[in-house]
Structure 1
Amino acid sequence: MSDTEPEKGARDTHYEVDLDTEPDPDAGKPVYADVVTHDHDTRPIIPASLRRGNRKAAARRFLGRLAHRLGYHSLRTPWYAALALWWAPAGLWKVLAYAARWAFDSDTMARAKVTPDPDMALKFMAVADKHRRNRLPWFGVGLLAAVAAAAALMVLAPWWGKVLAAAVLLPVLAKVGHPPDKRIVHAAVVTPRFRKLNPDIVLRAYYAAKLGDPDKKGQQVTFGSVMRREGDGSAVLVDLPYGKGFGHVLKAKEDLASGLDVAVSQVFLTRDPSSNRRHKLWVADRDPLSIPAGRTPLLKLQPTDIWQPAPLGLDERGKPVTLLMMWVSILVGAQPRQGKSFTARLLALYAALDPYVKMCVFDGKGSPDWRKFKLVADRCSFGFAMSRDGDPLEIFVQTLRELKDEVQWRYQRLSELPVDVCPEGKLTRELARDPRFGMPVRFVLIDECQEYFDTGDKELDKEIAKLLVFLVKVAPAAGVIVVDATQKPSGVGTGDVANSFISYRDQHQVRIALRTGSGQVSDLVLGQGSATEGYDSSALLPTYKGVGLLRGASDDTPTVRFHLADAEDAEKILIAARRLREQAGTLSGMAAGEDVTRDVRDVLYDVQQVFYGGEDKLTWRLLADRLRQQLPEGYAQETQESISALLRELGVPSENVRDSETGDTLKGCKLAAIRQAAERRELESSGSGSGRAASR
């Protein structure tokens, strides 16, 4: 009837005793679990839970568990009483039977019957006769006293006395009477099973996995540190024999887990930089990746700061994992239905709650996951089907062109600002939040990004590929964060487009891989060689949702249990984010109800978009041809003479330019002159040289 007694059928999953014997004292100095730092090997005088700063948490935990036990058992008290009434008669019969065996000395008589020696049998029988003569009177007196006491209790005792006697006697008799496999009171709090490691177990596991040989000289496995508790698990540095390296232990991970008698998902191996023979072994008490990290803290609906790390979730040791998104591009890859879009959405929701971040959200598959971002997004489109906002693909391409132009303009503008305003020529938090400079942090998210490399229009595919490669390579350093998600990291298309996708994929500095189909695909997401270093997302169990590897954000590559933000949570956060933007006056673009389709053309801007990478000047003929092809809605009727006249009116001089196709020297213009004309126009429009807003 104890709370801590394991239930039948659950004995394979919960224990209260160590699964292994204590290690040999000569095997190494023990390290206690109740320590303050890893350097301690003795118990502290004052337990860590009772030290200042921990007392409130310890008290809350103790009182919370106590309240849970009280509530659990209070609700089941009627059932416990019924079971006690059922098993109490059996208990009474067992007590009487035991007393009768004692009075008649049945055990000695039984020994006399089975003893082959007649003389010894006679001695046993004489002893039994003596015991009966002495015990039977006491048995009779006790039985009569018990009957008399029961009769007196029933006749003379008040009702509360009867209740008190029943409360004392019934549990005792029920405890005696119930079969061992029929529990009456079940545990309210179950103690999980965990493997208590010691050096003997670790050595046994490594030798069973063929990572060494205890009987061969120089082939013994040794330790680089003492065994210690680390989080909800045990950790130790292991030195393999000469000739064995980290690659060997990775290949033997399953055998190692078997030798440790734990699941593979509980074993974590980390390379040690000091030697390829040495690595860190951390074994979790229970599978840490099966425990959800809980809902996102963004549900507090407080403003965020994109210049500070975003909370992602918890690592395998239960420590918070964050990601600073400034200055990087981020790739999220996984199989379908493994939490890829949910993970990318966590980053987007964090950016949305910073009212000074200008957001663009695009979804190549047109799923419902991103629709609510219309509440805050300056530009957004979903899928390729025509919508009320216009052609989604046209909005996407136009946004990429604008972003490329803006990034180039930002670099030029930052290089010209005074040092006291822009130290080191880099965007700062103050610059980004000052509307006079027109350079807010921009957040661009593209889900199912591979779809935009295969639109069905080969020329457009090439342009999109070039623009996307430019963004992931160049834009982050200008304050444009790019987050891309894909379920097909191997790529799409053929020829130049396929090569561009590979370049685009490999340019991301930070990678997040949830479960993938193979180690090869995992390497495509995390980077070549990740699997050989022990980081393989294909090894994650299919039951894990929202669990993945985070690589490139720091020196570590943690396995992260990402916070959850479902569709309802996302909508709640985005409504709050819109309210913050309205209060800050930063709601813009489509979220503010602006029509992003172009009513009038911007010649200076449009001409810059038809200069491809590395080109610094074009002939009037080639300019007119490209404008008619790429922007037919505004330039279908234009000729090289009319384009020349338009640009010369805007202050762009005509120059001698060598035609790249014929080699002839013809009239044209320089890209630098077009940019100078655009800057002059912006200065005249704003009156303060404050930015590009007037040219849009």
Structure 2
Amino acid sequence: MNTPNPNPDNFDWTAAEADVAEVVDLDAKRARRAAAESGTHFEVNLDEAPQRGGMPVEPPPVDASGKRPIVPANWSTWPNIRHSLAQAAALTGYRAGFHAVRAPQYATLATFWAGVGTFRLIGRQLKWWWVSEQYGLRQAAADANDPAMWLKLHREVKATRMWRGIVLAAEAVAVCVGGPVLYAVAPVWALVLTACLLVAFLAHIGRPEDRRIITPATVSGRFRRVNPDIILRAYYAAGLGHPDKAHQQIGFGSTMARDASGTGSQVSIDLPYGKTFDDAVKARGAIASGLDVAVSQVFITRDPSSHRRHTLWVADRDPLAQGAGRTPLLRCKPTDIWQPAPFGLDERGNKVSVDLMWNSILIGAQPRQGKTFAARSLALYAALDPYVKLTVLDGGGKPDWRKFALVADRYAFGLAMTRDGDPAEIALEALREIKADVQDRYERLSKLPVDICPEGKLTREIARDPKYRMPVRLVVLDEFQEYFDLGDISKEIASLLVYLVKVAPAAGVGFVDATQRPSGVGGGQVATQFISFRDNHQVRFSLRTGSWNVSDLVLGAGANSEGYDSSTLLPSYKGVGILRGASDATPTVRTYLADADDAEKILIAARKLREAAGTLSGMAAGEDVAREVRDVLADVRSVIERGETGAQWEEIAARLADRLPEAYADVTAESVSAQVRSFGVRSVDVKRSGKALKGAKADDIDAAIARRKAA
């Protein structure tokens, strides 16, 4: 037996006649060596005669013995037979209805082309009678000055025309006499049948080859079969081995087989020693080119048994072009945040879930690629768990999140002032409250008994017991880049977000954050904090991006070098992205669809669940959670002691936090400086213990207060 040869022309098509392709023979020495070093997939020797290459893709055996059932499964039992007959009847009915609706169109086209066919048939008959094909022979005899040959051909053509003319005359008589006789004596059904057959025959002659009269009701799919020859060709062309070098040949860890789902073909590949799974992932595009399929049809998965072995799966058709369907959350059943959230289907149709507990999830993409829908699907899952406390902050102010006001403890939409207050201030206050809650949780968890809180970590029982006041929380930020670009207030928001994304998940506070600008904002400290916030997410989901650099920013450094590049996703893929960090695999996921109506239905059900469980809280429950408006200038002036000409920003922040903790518990020197300077107060050097640091003068603050009163 010989090892298959990588033949560039060796393929065939299903649902169509297989092409005969040339197979270049391997020399005997190389064939023997290959057979000794790797598995074999042929039972026939390769030779110079053209033949189909490789072993055809076969479905996997149904049992360990490799035997196939004598009677196909769809005809083996009465339920299966009834189902098969019902399918056949449904398909037949569909086709009948399809063609019945188009019957007038078919009749019109057939009549038109039958008229064309009549003249075309007459022309063919006249051409046949006149023996026009002999004209070239007689002209050649004349050009050769061979009168004897010309006369001979002339006599033959005259004789041929004579008897062919008699045949045509007989045909004309038969038509002219037989037609009226048939019309007079034949029953109606025979006339109709004859007319139909005649029109069909003439229409077939008259219509062009590329103009069909009857449109097929169903179209059989065509997809490329892959076989070992083609796979070897692809891998060698991708530079992953060499067919003529010892120990550089591609091997097979299994025989080629159809995938269990029936949507593709798979085989286990053994790369040469020294080549790795990462090399194969990087060469995915070249492998797809060698297989002569789209790169979206080629998927490579790791084999845990060896780093040079992997499974190659080639889809019959682009598996990402078809959506995953509606979200299963439409059942409106209670969910459990401690269980993974359904997210979508991978390229092979397997269900993909995402753990919201202990994780922060980053979603990035170009506009209108499904980023908000992906984030919202995870938030909807959390909403259906009545014991989860939701905070929804949408910097973009889109309609997609508005209905979360039904269940969210805190929410802010957009940046424009609303009846609930300034959205930026609401977001800041919410983040301050979450930070305080996280710090308080760690302290209280450390004090709980070991039998209640093993290892000092939050448990499901603690989270669902109201006496501990530690429910699981989910913070959702859409277009979060907007909160990093608000001027002075962004400094505190950015500081809080960086702290929370690093520390909060371990306390049972998860994050789902989406942005269309993962590259960052502006410059300075806020820009640095943006990068820190972006890079501290454990799970990343990137829908289509503009370049591999942006894809790496979303998926994390090194993703492109491992073969994961969301910029290669087609613009037509909506809700399709690469999911990294959620599991050992990095699948390409088609997210479930939940449109605005679906979301509203789910959120209405979620609110009822929370009302029944008594967990509706915050803004959703109608509580006034608007931040108390403070006079920052007056508060700062009040903490500058009598006799002091000024105070350093660090001193001011510490004193505010100590004396007014309800409003300034988390204030920093930078944030208070920014707020005070916004009123025209200068930041100047203030000496303390011989050390000069930036601060504010009491006279400058008094002047600012006076200017405000005068205005």
Instruction: Give TM-score, length-normalised by structure 1.
Output: 0.74
Q: Which residue of 1 aligns with 2:8?
A: none
> 2:386·2:610 contact (CA, 8 Å) conserved in 1?
yes
Q: Give the structure 2 partner of residue 77 of structure 1.
A: 103
Q: Name structure 2 gaps, 5 residues minimum.
A: 1-12, 24-41, 47-52, 631-649, 668-687, 691-711
Alignment pair present for 1:166 and 2:195: yes
Distance 2:136 2:324 in 1: 63
Residue identity in the other structure for 1:386: M
Structure 1 residue 336: Cα displacement: 2.9
Distance of 1:252 and 1:298 partners within structure 2: 38
Match of 1:440 in 2: 471
Alpha-carbon distance in structure 2 between the residues aligned to 1:63 and 1:557: 42
1:406: how far off? 2.6
TM-aligned CA deviation for residue 316 of structure 1: 1.6
* Number of the residue aligned with 2:598: 569
Aligned ranges 1:326-337 → 2 under 5 Å: 326-337=357-368
Question: Cα 1:583–1:182, aligned 2, differ >3 Å: closer, same or farther?
Answer: same
Structure 1: where are the runs of 5+ without partners?
1-12, 602-618, 637-660, 664-696
Cα gap change, 1:67/1:624 in structure 2, threshold over 3 Å: closer, same or farther? farther
| 1:542-691 paired onto structure 2 within 5 Å | 542-597=571-626, 623-627=654-658
More deviation, 187-196/44-53: 44-53
After superposition, give the CA deviation of every residue in 1:538-590 in whole Å (9 maximum; x if it has no partner): 22233322211111111111101222333343334333333443344432211
Partners of 1:222 and 1:593 in 2: CA distance: 67
Give the Cα separation in 1 of the matches to 2:158 and 2:454: 103
**Deviation digits for residues 572-631 of structure 1 (CA, Å, limit 9, x no counterpart):** 433333344334443221112211125799xxxxxxxxxxxxxxxxx9997533356886
Counterparts of residues 234-633 of structure 1 (less than 5 Å): 234-246=265-277, 248-414=279-445, 426-457=457-488, 461-492=490-521, 497-597=526-626, 623-627=654-658
Query: 2:16 is matched with which residue?
Result: 16
Task: State the AA in 1 paired with 2:216.
Answer: A
Q: Deviations over 1:518-544 (max 9, x none)?
A: 333322322222222221222223332
CA distance in structure 1 between the partners assigned to 2:16 and 2:99 by the alignment: 20
Question: Equivalents in 1 of 2:354, 2:502: separation in Å?
Answer: 19
Residues 115-264 of structure 1: pairs in structure 2 closer than 5 A: 150-230=179-259, 231=261, 232-246=263-277, 248-264=279-295
Does 2:112 match 1:86? yes
Contact map agreement 1:198 1:227 (CA 8 A) in 2: yes
CA distance in 1, matches of 2:665, 2:507: 30
Aligned-CA RMSD value? 4.4
Secondary structure of residue in 1 paired with 2:557? coil
Post-superposition offset of 1:343? 1.1
Distance 2:71 2:504 in 1: 54
For residue 70 of structure 2, the aligned residue among 33, 37, 45 is: 45
User: How much has 1:107 moved relative to structure 2?
Assistant: 10
Match of 2:94 in 1: 68
More off after superposition, 347-356 vs 242-251 = 242-251
Three-state SS of the structure 2 residue aligned to 1:369 is helix
Is the CA contact (8 Å cut-off) linking 1:353 and 1:577 kept in structure 2? Answer: yes
**What secondary structure does 1:595 align onto?**
coil
How many angstroms apart in 1 are the aligned matches of 2:70 and 2:136? 55
CA distance in 1, matches of 2:564, 2:76: 38
Bigger drift between 437-446 and 122-131 goes to: 122-131
Distance 1:189 1:462, change over 3 A: same
Q: Retained in 2: the 8 A contact 1:35–1:44?
A: no
Shift in Å at residue 273 of structure 1?
Answer: 4.5
CA distance in 2, matches of 1:203, 1:273: 22
Partner of 2:102: helix, strand, or coil? helix
Query: Given the superposition, is the C-alpha separation of residues 600 and 539 from structure 1 closer, same or farther in structure 2, using an over 3 Å criterion?
Result: closer
Q: CA offset at residue 323 of structure 1?
A: 1.9
Cα 1:598–1:177 change in 2 (3 A) is closer
User: In the aligned structure 1, how far is the partner of 2:446 from the partner of 2:243?
Assistant: 65
Structure 2 counterpart SS, 1:576: helix
SS in 2 for 1:405: helix
Change (3 A) 1:141 1:453: closer
Q: Trace 1:96-111 onto structure 2 (pairs within 5 A).
A: none
Please report how far the alpha carbon of residue 334 of structure 1 lies from its aligned counterpart in structure 2 after TM superposition: 1.9
Displacement, 1:185? 0.8
The one of 22, 30, 34 aligned to 2:55? 30
| Superposed displacement of residue 381, structure 1 | 0.7
Q: Identify which range, 273-282 or 585-594, moves more after superposition.
A: 273-282
- 2:57 touches 2:256 (CA, 8 Å); kept in 1? no
| One-letter amino acid matched to 1:187 | P
Cα gap change, 1:249/1:128 in structure 2, threshold over 3 Å: closer, same or farther?
farther
TM-score by length of 2: 0.72
375-384 or 44-53: bigger deviation = 44-53
How far did 1:215 drift?
3.4
**CA spacing shift, 1:545–1:123, aligned 2, 3 Å:** same
Q: Deviations over 1:156-202 (max 9, x none)?
A: 34444433433444334322432212210122222334221122222
Give the Å deviation of 1:446. Answer: 1.1
Bigger drift between 113-122 and 221-230 goes to: 113-122
Distance 2:535 2:281 in 1: 25
Question: Between Structure 1 and Structure 2, how many residues are aligned?
Answer: 606
Post-superposition shift, 1:499?
4.5
Residues 488 and 48 (structure 1), Cα distance of their counterparts in 2 relative to 1, 3 Å cut: farther
Aligned residue type for 2:579? L
